[in-house]
Amino acid sequence: MTSASTSFPLGVIEGFFGRPWSWRDRADYAEFLNRYDFGFYIYAPKSDQLLRKHWRESWSPADWSELQGLRKVYAEHSVSFGVGLTPYGLQHAYTPGDASRLAEKVRQINSLEPDILAVLFDDIPLVSTGLAAIQATIVGDALAVSSAGSHFVCPTYYSDDPVLTKALGPMPENYLQDLGEQLPASVEVFWTGPKVCSETYSLEHLLDVTARLGRKPFIWDNYPVNDGPRMCKHLHLRPPKQRKSLLEGSSGLAANPMNQPELSKIALACLASMMQDPSQYCADDALTAAVSTLDNPALARALLDDIQQFHEWGRSTFSADNTEAYLEKYGRWDDPAAKEVVAWLRGSFEPDAALLAEFEEFAQQQSE
């Protein structure tokens, strides 16, 4: 799970809402991750309801074949492959029948021969009492069946960000401490930092979380992700801010990319450069090098020229004339990254009705 150039575990988790990547995009990422010494990829898109609300059901033969092929491609590129399962509904009434169905699902995942199984409790409704104990039991039952070599858990409260307590209500007393005590020591616990989308991670914060969890947190880095009604209007193309503290204060990092797979490679390549050689890292040099890998010098220059408008300003600030000019500019290139810019400008990555309904349902359930 670690990269070839460092012992620090560094990888990607496809864990965003909204428009999913294609199977081709996912397969192509194996070569990219290998080239930049990322050690793992976890398949956990919020769009795959067979890992979420409908996890009790099986994949269609076509999708199962795609998953099998995806796992094979990652093995061929020496990148660890994982699956993230969100067992919707079990936190309310975990019955023996539920435990049996959970074991059946994990056995199905086992047939993919994953290196990693992640059990994810983020962004799902919670119970009022005994949250840590119920989750630890669910995880224990999953681990008893799992054949994966590494296991992860994402808590319901995966950050100290007030936005979570606003949506979910107060964190149960000693939730993180209790969860940490009841999980096996070998299980990694995801944490997004002081914010759901943290720009930086201080060592002081990481040490505090370590004390609460009884282990170093494994950072779920919500950058360059841009899902949701607000962030989807931005393309996160700049290098991430300094993350050197994670080498000492965390047990690893999983980056959550954008809905745009090609454009995500820019920030991810910069992240790899930063984490693998922080003493020599220069953000400007890393950005220039990352953009140059597009093999289209004109497109690379255009993205560097427009990075402030796309990254900071966002397309909601563009006039109709601005948008039309950008469409003409990027529409001349038959390149995957340019096509993603064009689709973004046209609003193709806006949350659809189903996604907005899920956000609204989640908020409503927490207010009941």
CA–CA separation, 8 and 4 (whole Å)? 10
Does residue 292 form part of some domain?
no
At residue 367, does pLDDT exceed 50?
A: no
Does residue 137 form part of some domain?
yes
Does residue 238 form part of some domain?
yes
Token digits of residue 340: 């993603």
Peptide bond into 125 cis (omega under 30): no
Q: What's the average model confidence in pLDDT over 144-153? A: 99
Q: What's the average model confidence in pLDDT over 168-193? A: 96
Token digits of residue 185: 């020591």
* Angle subtended by helix axes 61-76 and 23-35, to nearest 10: 10
Tell me, what's the pLDDT at 365? 46
- 3-state class percentages of the chain: helix first, strand second, coil last, to nearest 5: 50, 10, 40
Residue pair 267/236 in contact by the 8 Å Cβ criterion = yes
Does residue 347 form part of some domain?
no
The DSSP code for 319 is: -
Query: For 42-60, how does the pLDDT look when each residue is reduced to its tens digit (9 = 90+)?
Result: 999 999 999 999 999 999 9
Q: What angle do CA 35, 44, 267 make, to 5 degrees?
A: 40
Does residue 301 form part of some domain?
no
- What DSSP letter does each residue of 145-162 carry, written as one string? H---SEEEEE-SS-S--H
The DSSP code for 9 is: B
Does residue 314 form part of some domain?
no
CA–CA separation, 368 and 169 (whole Å)? 11
Q: What angle do CA 181, 254, 213 make, to 5 degrees?
A: 15
**Identity of the residue numbered 84:** G
Q: Based on the structure, what is the number of domains in the chain?
A: 1
3 state DSSP class of 350: coil
Q: Which residues contact 324 (CB under 8 A, 6 or more apart)?
A: none
Query: Given pLDDT bands bounded at 50, 70 and 90, which one contains residue 358?
Result: low
> Which of 126, 62, 121, 117 minimizes the C-alpha distance to 87?
121
3 state DSSP class of 2: strand
Q: What's the average model confidence in pLDDT over 221-245? A: 95
Tell me, what's the pLDDT at 21? 97
Query: For 274-320, how does the pLDDT look when each residue is reduced to its tens digit (9 = 90+)?
Result: 999 998 999 999 999 999 988 899 999 999 999 999 999 999 999 99
Q: Give the domain range for residue 73.
A: 10-286+357-367
Q: What's the average model confidence in pLDDT over 24-31? A: 98
Does residue 147 form part of some domain?
yes
Q: What's the average model confidence in pLDDT over 179-200? A: 98
At residue 70, does pLDDT exceed 60?
A: yes
For the whole prediction, is pTM greater than 0.85? yes
Residue pair 122/154 in contact by the 8 Å Cβ criterion = yes
Calculate the average pLDDT of the chain.
93
Q: What's the average model confidence in pLDDT over 148-171? A: 94
> Which of 123, 57, 127, 53 minimizes the C-alpha distance to 87?
53
The enclosing domain of 96 has a CATH number of 3.20.20.80
Query: Given pLDDT bands bounded at 50, 70 and 90, which one contains residue 360?
Result: low
Does residue 308 form part of some domain?
no
Tell me, what's the pLDDT at 356? 59
**Adjacent-strand bridge partners of 85:** 119
> Which of 31, 258, 15 minimizes the C-alpha distance to 118?
15
Query: For 85-137, how does the pLDDT look when each residue is reduced to its tens digit (9 = 90+)?
Result: 999 988 777 899 999 999 999 999 999 999 999 999 997 766 657 899 999 99
Of all residues in the chain, what percent carry a pLDDT higher than 70?
93
3 state DSSP class of 92: coil
Residue ranges with strand state E in the chain? 10-14, 40-43, 80-85, 116-120, 150-154, 188-191, 218-221, 252-255
At residue 366, does pLDDT exceed 50?
A: no
Query: Given pLDDT bands bounded at 50, 70 and 90, which one contains residue 168?
Result: confident
**CA dihedral of residues 154, 157, 162, 168 (deg, nearest 10):** 120
